[in-house]
Amino acid sequence: MTGEGTSPHVAYRAVLLAAGLLLFGLLFRQLTTLLLAVLMTVVIAIPLSAAATRLERYRIPRPVGALVALLGGVAVLALVIYLLIPPFVDQTNEFVDDVPGIVKNLEGRAGDVVGSEPSEVGDRVQEWFEGYTDDPGKLIGPITSIGLNVAGVIGALVLILITSYYMAIRPDPLVDGLVSLVPPARRAHLRHVLARVRQSWIGWMQGVGIDMLVTGVLTYAALTIIGLDFAIFFAVLSALLVVVPYFGAIAGAIPPVLFALTDSPGKALLVLGAYTLVQQLESNVTIPVVMSQRVRMHPAMIAIGVVVVGRLFGFVGLFVAVPILSLITISVEEFWVRQLDADEAERRRPEIELPSGADEIHAGDLPSEELVDEHAVRPAS
């Protein structure tokens, strides 16, 4: 029985709305992996398409140019893996094995913080690290929800690369198909929005690449000069975490500072100073010059958005948080804010005043188009 003043139709609509939101939430959780895969595919296809377009100027066929760009990217990634991953894995295992001894120097302080017996702290920290080193699948978040093993992840990555290659070869049919979904009067505007998103994502990728390189090299050099062990481990970790804005730099600095504290407070201060200098260089030079001019988002919005994206998409979503946020920002700005500004400008547009006391206006009495246009663009005094 509905309350007074409430019609059954309103109650039914409320129930249907709640059911629709619940269904959307369930579908979103199940489609999280698919959404991330599609986003990663588009992110990879954009630079491949840009490289193919640039190579076309030198009369290189587009399929060949996209293939060269793809193979070049894979070769660079393989070289980085060959040079960094083996020592990184070795130092990671050594670091995990040394965790009880590292924590032993700090177990009294940590025991006071976590409320556990000092002897239990080292074992608990080691178990936490080993949980990720023995089972890396925990780090890939929603991918594990569909039961993919390592071979499945590699197969998915290969499929993403192949799909990105074909998208880069012929992007026009995909763009035209997306544009055709809107009314003809809106299609030029949608193409402008897509061009803005493309430019923003390319700028983000360029900034991330430079930022990772600068952060990794400077961190490794600083830690080596200070004489801190596991320098490669900490440098690679810091370079990977710069993909996560702001929070990544903080998370990457905590392990080396705590590790240096087990040696001496002075060394911990040196490590903290080194990370602070690298972070300041990143915040004041790399990000503003290379990335922010393309992405153009407020730091507070990025910080809050990263938390929200992490909650929705898990750990992997943090690495594509900026593209997601830039897409949302550009869409809101283009389809909502600018429309509101246009409506407000149209509302404030001065109207043509008709002669007072005229009972009948003939066509010949109306002002000409030139006068109308001139009056429309000239603000009323």
Instruction: Provide the residue count of the chain.
Output: 381
18-to-11, 14, 23, 27 alpha-carbon distances in Å: 11, 6, 9, 14
Does the predicted model carry a pTM greater than 0.85? no
Residues 241/249, Cβ–Cβ less than 8 Å: yes
Q: What is the pLDDT of residue 113?
A: 47
What's the pLDDT score for residue 69? 92
The secondary structure of residue 265, as a DSSP letter, is H
At residue 108, the pLDDT reads 54
**CA distances, 254 to each of 79, 183, 287 (Å):** 28, 52, 21
Mean pLDDT by 10 residues, the chain (381 residues): 53 71 68 78 90 91 92 86 73 69 59 50 56 51 47 78 91 89 89 89 82 88 88 86 79 86 84 88 65 62 78 76 85 85 76 50 46 44 40
Residue 258 sits at the vertex; the CA angle it makes with 235 and 252, to the nearest 5 degrees, is: 35
Look up residue 246 and give its two tokens.
């702001």
Q: Tokens 């999280």 identify what position?
A: 32
CB atoms within 10 A of CB 358: 9
SS3 7: coil
Burial letters 260-273, b for 16+ CB under 10 A, else e: bbebeeebbebbbe
CA–CA gap between residue 123 and residue 102 (Å, rounded): 11
The Cα–Cα gap between 291 and 202 comes to 9
Q: What does each C-alpha distance from 28 to 58, 305, 315 come to in angstroms?
A: 44, 18, 16
Residue with tokens 């302080």, as numbered in its chain: 109
Is the C-alpha dihedral spanning 256, 257, 259, 263 positive or negative? Answer: positive
Distance CA 370, CA 261 (A): 78
The position carrying tokens 């990025």 is 302
